[in-house]
Structure 1
Amino acid sequence: MRPILDLPPAGCQRTFLALRANLLLTHSKGVTGMIERWNGRLFLILVLLLLSQLAAAEEIAPGLRYEQRAEPGPLAIQWLEVDPERISIRLRHAGAGGLGRETVSALALQEGAIAAVNGGFFRIGGPLDGKSTGLLKVAGRWISDSLLPRGAIGWQNTGRDALIGRLRVFWTLRVGQWRFPVDRINGPRGASGTILYTAAFDASTRTEPGGREVIVSNDRITAIADGGNSPIPKGGFVYSAGAAVREKVSALRPGMRARLDLRFQPGFQAQPSPRSRWSEMDFILGGTPVLVSEGRKVSGFSEERIQDSFVHGRHPRTAVGIRKDGTWILLVVDGRQELKSIGMTLDELAGYLVSLGCVRALNLDGGGSSTLVINGRARNSPSDPTGERPVSDAILLFPRPTQ
């Protein structure tokens, strides 16, 4: 790492901020003699010293730059500038399947990533601990969907032409002339639910008895199981119908050909369609809400159905933004630490991302999950008293091989 500026202690920052405030106050009272005695060169030195207290940057690797700033509030902000042509951007789930949690630093060390930030929202505790609650597609494998219409970011292995927008995804099981809707994928199944379980979830469906499960491998039904917790074939899936709707699949038999149809509904307005740029994405990560669109802050988040306290409260935040030239910004704002950083509202976060040149941006999981890691070490100050919070998934960064 090549340090460009070293960030001094917080006490120095407060000293210079106090000096700047004192100068402004003195001037406002008409007492200008103090400033007039300073020649231009000395005043310029003071300005440069003040700026050095508030900002620092490091080149982590070719195509990857780290910056941090201390802003009034106080606010501790750090971000990664990523050139996707020189840095590979990948998603990693903590568990072997769709469950489990790990810290961001542990995930980065396991994979040999040079930097990482936390990803999407997830369940904490219970039998589905670590299950993503939003859209999640990792290296072409669907792990999770979203119950509500929410934002997402999608990208190919190249990292270029990333998509950020509101998105819904719909699955349908097709067997001959029959169509069977899918309520969710890889989630808990209620009595009236129809859930699709893929091999990315776990070895079995973990469902309770009482339903009926259609086991499909290599596009053909291999078994119909009354009960629950059926094994999930590696080359297929299980369509699980709860007790109240199990008779809807009563006509199905082993040997029938079966396949899944997938449709995308960007923006919540157009009719769902299998033809979408989203279908070409190797990685899709859900978040909420979309913060920036076409270079402007998004006004209002009602379409994504999130609580006012989440919108207007000050919290630690993690966000991803894309500049016009394709550069990625992975930003973390510390919070819930009164003397160091109080956090941001979503409107403030959106404005800050616009100030960094982002034309599109998405809020990711925040709070105690907000973590930015470089070379295996968290560079921010996570808000949980125990330190880094184990998370469901993370965005990992790797140098691309030189040609």
Structure 2
Amino acid sequence: MTRRRGRSAAGRAVLTVVTAFGVLAGAALAGAAPAGAAPAGRRIAPGVTYRQFDVDTAAGTAHAHLLTVDLANPHVGVDLLYPGAVAARSTVSRLADSAGAVAGINGDFFNITETQHPGVEATGAPVGPAVAAGQALKAAVPKGQRFGPALPPGTNTQEVLGVGTDRRARLDRLALVGSVTTPDGRLPLKGLNQYALPQGSVGAFTAKWGGVSRQRAVCGTDSERAAPCSDDTYEVTVRGGRVVAASGTPGSGTIAAGTTVLLGREEGARQLRKLSVGDPVTVEHSLTAATSGVPYAFAIGGFPVLRAGKPLSGLDDGTSAVRTVVGFKGGGQQLLILVLDGAARYRTGMTVAEEAEAMRTLGASDALNLDGGGSSELVAREGDAGAVSVRNHPSGGAERPVPNGIGIFSAA
């Protein structure tokens, strides 16, 4: 649910503490404190604190759930939650429990529906880059193929929040750098486990993609997501450095470990048709950071709303919604993870501009907006409980399966 309003409301987000801790998502709100007071919280694990509070916005009152994560604590870890495949979905609680996380939230926007391409399977794959346990899982789809609200001016689908091997969080851009070396020369690689490939390109799909059809990857154009699917396609399967199979149409099914499927559209397809079974092929790819010289142990896609303590220009200040945002302060040593409640009383949420202001008020220097609406969810463990519980009310009335999220881990 969203609510539109005039631009005069930009940035009006006032934090008011209402409760220190709710055992379950339906916990009663009580104990109001003056606006601007520092919210109290309860420790989930050493270095991890949970709290909740109200945020006054132009559309009404939003209720926020906040995790504070001390990355300087050696017992604390952060990594990507995902169901073992890029093109797959699961609930945040299941993802967190299966990974052994003490808390978690939903992640990137994703390919949730394909109503504009009848007969084409929605992949469930996320929009932006993803890094898990230091390994690149996928690259970003073209900007015109993105699902989600409009991006702020000057941003693109390569935007991420990541935590480096130095245990500091950063905002960055991760671009795919790759090539396909064939007997006829070297081709640029423009896709890695993506639900949409650039026009005229070749993309790679690995065992991390999953078993979902690759048909969606050749639908739409770089500027129009709803454009028809290309009928000029070709794919080859590479194993052990050689072509072992070829097909004129995108395939489906699980890709074996050590195997790469190369899918081309238009000019990319014409180049792949030059290959024959038995030809030697080498595929190389990596995600390259725009600003950081430190390798990323974890990264997730979204779009930035706050940089160096200042909201980005052109943030939407007219559409209120339930939102999820992650930021950091203290030079990247402390994460601030905020998820709004989707209960009917609070479902008007806040605008992106108000979200940025709320994070700034909490002390964040930088912040990245993640998927919202029915996807917004925060889970955490209570004491010695063996499983997490959902702390906010998902606005759809139940947990929505999502492709990825952020997991908080404790070795204590």
Is the counterpart of residue 117 in structure 1 residue 117 in structure 2?
Answer: no
Is the counterpart of residue 365 in structure 1 residue 371 in structure 2?
Answer: yes
Q: Which has the higher contact order (CA 8 A, sep 6+)?
A: 2
Identify which of 230, 238, 248 aligns with 2:261. Answer: 238
- Once residues 359 and 328 of structure 1 are traced to their aligned partners in structure 2, the CA distance between those partners, rounded to angstroms, is 10
TM-score normalised by the chain length of structure 1: 0.74
Could you say which residue in structure 2 is the equivalent of 1:393? Answer: 404
Could you say which residue in structure 2 is the equivalent of 1:138? Answer: 132
Identify which of 120, 124, 128 aligns with 2:122. Answer: 128
- Once residues 297 and 20 of structure 2 are traced to their aligned partners in structure 1, the CA distance between those partners, rounded to angstroms, is 37
Could you say which residue in structure 2 is the equivalent of 1:70? Answer: 54
Deviations 1:153-203 (A, max 9, x none): 1224x5712221344334332336623233433325699553321111125
Could you say which residue in structure 1 is the equivalent of 2:80? Answer: 91
- Once residues 102 and 113 of structure 2 are traced to their aligned partners in structure 1, the CA distance between those partners, rounded to angstroms, is 29
Identify which of 205, 208, 212 aligns with 2:234. Answer: 212
Identify which of 288, 293, 299 aligns with 1:277. Answer: 293
| Structural mapping, 1:143-158, within 5 Å | 143-148=138-143, 149-150=156-157, 151-156=159-164, 158=165
Structure 1 counterpart of 2:264, one-letter code: A
Larger radius of gyration: 1
Structure 2 counterpart of 1:61, one-letter code: A
Structure 1 counterpart of 2:265, one-letter code: G
SS in 2 for 1:117: strand
Could you say which residue in structure 2 is the equivalent of 1:286? Answer: 301
Deviations 1:63-122 (A, max 9, x none): 00112112333121121110123211111213x322222211121122222111111111
Deviations 1:304-362 (A, max 9, x none): xxxx5xx631111111111124111111123573x335311111111111112211211
- Once residues 210 and 341 of structure 1 are traced to their aligned partners in structure 2, the CA distance between those partners, rounded to angstroms, is 45
* Worse-matched range after superposition: 70-79 or 371-380: 70-79
Change (3 A) 1:241 1:53: closer
Is the counterpart of residue 258 in structure 1 residue 282 in structure 2?
Answer: yes
Structure 2 counterpart of 1:342, one-letter code: T
- Once residues 52 and 291 of structure 1 are traced to their aligned partners in structure 2, the CA distance between those partners, rounded to angstroms, is 21
TM-score normalised by the chain length of structure 2: 0.72
Structure 2 counterpart of 1:374, one-letter code: A
Could you say which residue in structure 2 is the equivalent of 1:379? Answer: 391
Mapped contact 2:142–2:196 kept (Cα < 8 A) = no
Moved over 6 A (4+): 51-54
RMSD: 3.3
Change (3 A) 1:189 1:98: same
Could you say which residue in structure 1 is the equivalent of 2:3? Answer: none
Change (3 A) 1:322 1:10: closer
Could you say which residue in structure 2 is the equivalent of 1:61? Answer: 45
Identify which of 96, 101, 106 aligns with 2:94. Answer: 106
Change (3 A) 1:369 1:216: same
Mapped contact 2:128–2:302 kept (Cα < 8 A) = yes
- Once residues 21 and 289 of structure 2 are traced to their aligned partners in structure 1, the CA distance between those partners, rounded to angstroms, is 46
- Once residues 319 and 89 of structure 1 are traced to their aligned partners in structure 2, the CA distance between those partners, rounded to angstroms, is 15
Mapped contact 1:316–1:336 kept (Cα < 8 A) = no
SS in 2 for 1:74: strand
- Once residues 5 and 212 of structure 1 are traced to their aligned partners in structure 2, the CA distance between those partners, rounded to angstroms, is 57
- Once residues 260 and 66 of structure 1 are traced to their aligned partners in structure 2, the CA distance between those partners, rounded to angstroms, is 42
SS in 2 for 1:109: helix
Is the counterpart of residue 340 in structure 1 residue 346 in structure 2?
Answer: yes
Mapped contact 2:161–2:301 kept (Cα < 8 A) = yes
Mapped contact 2:141–2:196 kept (Cα < 8 A) = no
SS in 2 for 1:240: strand
Mapped contact 1:132–1:144 kept (Cα < 8 A) = no
Deviations 1:235-283 (A, max 9, x none): 131111236653323433424241324463637xxxxxxxx637x2132
Mapped contact 1:334–1:342 kept (Cα < 8 A) = no
- Once residues 376 and 323 of structure 2 are traced to their aligned partners in structure 1, the CA distance between those partners, rounded to angstroms, is 6
Is the counterpart of residue 81 in structure 1 residue 92 in structure 2?
Answer: no
SS in 1 for 2:54: strand
- Percent pairwise identity: 28
